[in-house]
Amino acid sequence: MAQNQTANEAKGFYKLSWLQRIGFGSGDMAQNLIYQTVSIWLLFFYTNVYGLAPGTAALMFLIVRLVDVLWDPLVGAFVDKSNPKWGKYRSWLVLGGIPLAGLAVLCFWNGFSGSIVYAYITYVGMSMCYTLVNVPYGALNSSLTRDTEEITVLTSTRMFMANLGALIVKSLPMIIAIFAPVAADGSAITDKPESATAWFITMTIFAVAGLALLIFSFSQCKERVVMDQKESENVKVSDLWMEFLRNRPLRVLAFFFITAFAMMSIGNAADAYFMTYNVEATPVMTTAFMWLGTIPAFIFMPLVPAIKRKIGKKGMFYLFLGTAITGMAMMYVFVQVEALKQFWLLCIAQFVKSTGIIVATGYMWALVPEVVSYGEYTSGRRIAGIVNALTGIFFKAGMALGGVVPGLVLSIVGFDAALSHQTAFAEQGILWLVCVIPAVLLLLAIWIISKYELEDDVIDKINMEIEARAKNA
């Protein structure tokens, strides 16, 4: 048994220790502490604290994503081409992590309140640094091992850690309340310009913690399955589009990323408005509600390997995407029917919705190493950085929709941050952002993932063939 394991590991089918798995997962936890704070809360900060109009903020989110479309392929090619002494991919966890943490803090600084120029500089800079971390981090997954079972466990661990970070991020209202000024009635002021310092302090805490986790992840990741240095020298930006054209599973995954991240970004950006205006929740209620958007990860992500073995990867996607749609439908009905508009019922709907979203969108990252291997099988080159840059372009395209759509919808329905209570039309617009539009996107995601062809037995054969080629070369 030991001999077989050693032989397999020599072929690239490595098994990792739990410390290594947790170390890798810590990298995603770190990125969530920083980037998910931006994704969920920055629009709300801009409109309610910093003083930007929703339409102005929406346009900025779109422009930042367009910059990413140009920037991400350059980073992907650069990462695959370079060979830093600390590791091809893991080096960037530190080299990109330091400026990422600094710029994330500056995004939530109100020193130039209302300045669109300052907002653009800090948000664009932060997003560019995030790419410098995220693209190499994504490539790390496929560089650690070829073993599909190990990648499933690794992805489950990663998503568990990522959602631990998300749980902390969704505690932000309570954390801000600690540092926020107090109103005459004794409640914390967290959604007005007076709370700017509290937002800055909270983001600083998250950024420092995120950087520490990136350094820990760097220390635990060991790259074993990487491109030959001679091949690295020939990597070009154009390889990205060539890979997209010839790699059909990659195309399917790319469009799945667009819909999935658009769905998540729209819902995440709208949650703060939903709890503030539709539910009129306290910071404690908002935190509890958002916790329920993450807690299912700790219940279901450890079960993913067993669920996948039982019903297959496509079956798992269908089951959990359908669960998410069911939760959204429940939430819509509960809010629309006055007798059912109870906070505890909304929490149940949130739990159901989040269970589906967390498992489906969490496991999709396990498919990235598969399309990397498929590309290597068909082209002879393992350009993990390029592939992750491409998936990065598409998930950021989804996030662009997620950033633009809420701002546009809020503008159309007449949202006014100066009002404590919004019009019925504005509240309905917020509800569409939380339930209806994400549900439509999930239906599209189900159709897209039905076109994915790389089942486990197929990808195992591909990986073994690649290793056999390398041995005979």
Residue 10 lies in a domain: no
Residue 387: per-residue pLDDT = 74
Per-residue pLDDT tens digits for 292-334: 888 888 888 788 888 888 898 899 999 999 999 999 999 999 9
Residue 468 lies in a domain: no
Nearest to 366 by CA among 304, 447, 311: 304
Nearest to 360 by CA among 420, 438, 427: 438
Domain ranges, residue 374:
22-222+233-463
User: 200 with 45: CB under 8 angstroms?
Assistant: no
Per-residue pLDDT tens digits for 152-211: 788 788 888 988 898 888 888 889 989 988 888 877 888 888 999 999 999 999 999 999
Measure the CA–CA gap between 452 and 312, rounded to whole angstroms.
12
Q: When comparing pLDDT for 88 and 256, which is higher? A: 256
Q: Which of 81-85, 346-350, 457-461 has the lowest mean pLDDT?
A: 81-85
pLDDT band at 382 (very low <50, low <70, confident <90, very high): low
List the CATH number of the domain containing 286. Answer: 1.20.1250.20
Residue 169 lies in a domain: yes
pLDDT band at 229 (very low <50, low <70, confident <90, very high): low
Residue 244: per-residue pLDDT = 79
Residue 96: pLDDT above 50?
yes
Q: Could you give the number of structural domains in the chain?
A: 1
Residue 286 lies in a domain: yes
Unique residue bearing structure tokens 């990252």:
365
Residue 232: pLDDT above 90?
no
Token duo for residue 339:
């007798």
Residue 7: pLDDT above 70?
no
Residue 467: pLDDT above 90?
no
Residue 3 lies in a domain: no
pLDDT band at 451 (very low <50, low <70, confident <90, very high): very high
Q: What percent of the chain is predicted at pLDDT more than 70?
A: 91
Token duo for residue 243:
């890979």
pLDDT band at 1 (very low <50, low <70, confident <90, very high): very low
Phi, psi of 60 (to 5 degrees): -65, -40
Residue 449: per-residue pLDDT = 94
Measure the CA–CA gap between 293 and 347, rounded to whole angstroms.
9
Averaged pLDDT of the chain: 84
Residue 127 lies in a domain: yes
Residue 239: per-residue pLDDT = 67
Per-residue pLDDT tens digits for 324-380: 999 999 999 999 888 888 999 999 999 999 999 988 988 887 888 888 888 888 777
Rounded average pLDDT over 67-76: 81
Residue 471 lies in a domain: no
Residue 228 lies in a domain: no
Residue 376: per-residue pLDDT = 80
Residue 383: per-residue pLDDT = 63
- For 223, half-sphere exposure in the C-beta direction (CA atoms, 13 angstrom radius) is 21
For every residue of 370-414, which 3-state class applies, written as one string? Answer: HHHHHHHHHHCCCCHHHHHHHHHHHHHHHHHHHHHHHHHHHHHCC
Residue 472: pLDDT above 70?
no
pLDDT band at 238 (very low <50, low <70, confident <90, very high): low
Per-residue pLDDT tens digits for 142-162: 777 777 778 778 878 888 898
